[in-house]
Amino acid sequence: MDAIYRRLSHFPLIKYNYSSKFLFVAFVGIHIPLIGIIFFVLNSPAELLSSKAVIMLVLGLTLASTGVTLYVLRRLLSPLLLSDKALKEYMSRGVLPALPTHFPDEAGRLMMLIQETINHLDRLSTEKRQMASLVTHNLRTPLNQIVALCELVKIDTDHLNTYIGQIETITKSQLDTLSRLLEQLAATVSSIGHVELLEYDVNSFIQDEVLKLKSAFAQKNINVVQNLSKENLHTNRSKSNLSLVLQNLLSNAVKFSYDGQSVTITTARKDNQIQISVKDEGLGFSEKYAKTLFNDARKSGRRGTANEPSIGLGLHLSKKIIEQTGGSLQAHSDGDGKGACFTITF
């Protein structure tokens, strides 16, 4: 920030008013010639006080005063010029600015508002990219299920209606998830993020999410245990976001479990917070692996127990999405081969 604007912001009389700074500079600039003439008259010998000398002095002081005043006024425009530059750089190159936000006058409040708006827009943009990535990631499991069911249709025509029904259930479930996500994104755009979210029952929500993966659980003979709280648990957290994260955790539980093992979903209220836990008996992870568990692992994602592929991005995005809504996602395992437990708290 320009030194002149910063120093003028320390003067109590003009600290809180941007226009007062301009008026103060203009007032001082106008009176410099008058002060100079008074000083010259009082301190010069009588023989130098000719009309020509006074006129030349007035012209010189006026020109100098005008130049200095215009220069200082130009420097006072620095908050506006800096704001303009920040907006242009963000719009053209996506560069996040670091505008000063502590000045109390109108220009300072403008810079603070621009900084907060750009930060908010950048968070929205990042959240949408992350949600789109997680949607793509989560679609792999149901699409693989549909492909597997289509293969069964070819070789087992006796259960054709059963397979078609399962395909229909999976497809409707994913369409519902995508529709809710698109509605949320549209609402976010129209209200710049201040979306009024409806309250819903967490336990019913869990049951619906488990049904979406019924076919995936059946393919590995996974026993699903729903240990749901008897207490009514309600929340207004984004249903689409929570669905994306929970679908990812449940898909991972299936992927990293062996045939015939169990997956337990637990809901509870603890310390006035709602907790949702997904626990499996599968591969688990070591203490060393836990340190990088939520990192972007697109180059090192491990395969499932049936050699299922992994993008290595799901947990990374899930943690970010939960944290952006003020919650947390934590993981625990007693070691390799001892299963894993992932807990969402909000």
Region 59-81: what's the mean pLDDT? 89
pLDDT one-digit tens code per residue, 299-322: 556 788 888 766 667 788 788 888
Residue 61 confidence (pLDDT): 86
Q: How confident is the model at residue 194 (pLDDT cuts 50, 70, 90)?
A: very low
Does the structure show a pLDDT above 80 at 47?
A: no
Does the structure show a pLDDT above 80 at 60?
A: yes
Count other C-beta atoms under 10 Å from residue 266's C-beta. 17
Region 327-344: what's the mean pLDDT? 93
Residue 184 confidence (pLDDT): 55
Does the structure show a pLDDT above 80 at 225?
A: yes
Does residue 305 contact residue 257 with C-beta atoms inside 8 Å? Answer: yes
Region 283-309: what's the mean pLDDT? 79
Residue 35 confidence (pLDDT): 85
- Within 8 A by CB and 6+ apart from 57, the residues are 36, 37, 40
Instruction: Report d(CA 299, CA 312) in Å as an integer.
Output: 7
Does the structure show a pLDDT above 80 at 296?
A: no
Tell how far CA 152 is from the center of its chain. Answer: 42
Pairing of strands 234-235, 200-201: antiparallel
Number of helical H runs and strand E runs in the chain: 11, 7
Q: How confident is the model at residue 134 (pLDDT cuts 50, 70, 90)?
A: low
Determine whether 215 is exposed, middle or buried from the number of CB atoms within 10 Å of its CB (0-12, 13-18, 19+).
buried
Count other C-beta atoms under 10 Å from residue 4's C-beta. 17
Does the structure show a pLDDT above 90 at 247?
A: no
* Residue with tokens 């560069």, as numbered in its chain: 95
User: Across-strand partners of 330?
Assistant: 343
Q: Report the chain's mean pLDDT, rounded to a whole number.
A: 83
Determine whether 163 is exposed, middle or buried from the number of CB atoms within 10 Å of its CB (0-12, 13-18, 19+).
buried
The pLDDT > 90 percentage for the chain reads 25
Does residue 96 contact residue 123 with C-beta atoms inside 8 Å? Answer: no
- Within 8 A by CB and 6+ apart from 124, the residues are 188, 192, 193
The residue among 23 and 238 whose pLDDT is bigger is 23
Does the structure show a pLDDT above 90 at 13?
A: no
The CA-based angle 214-332-297, given to 5 degrees, is: 75
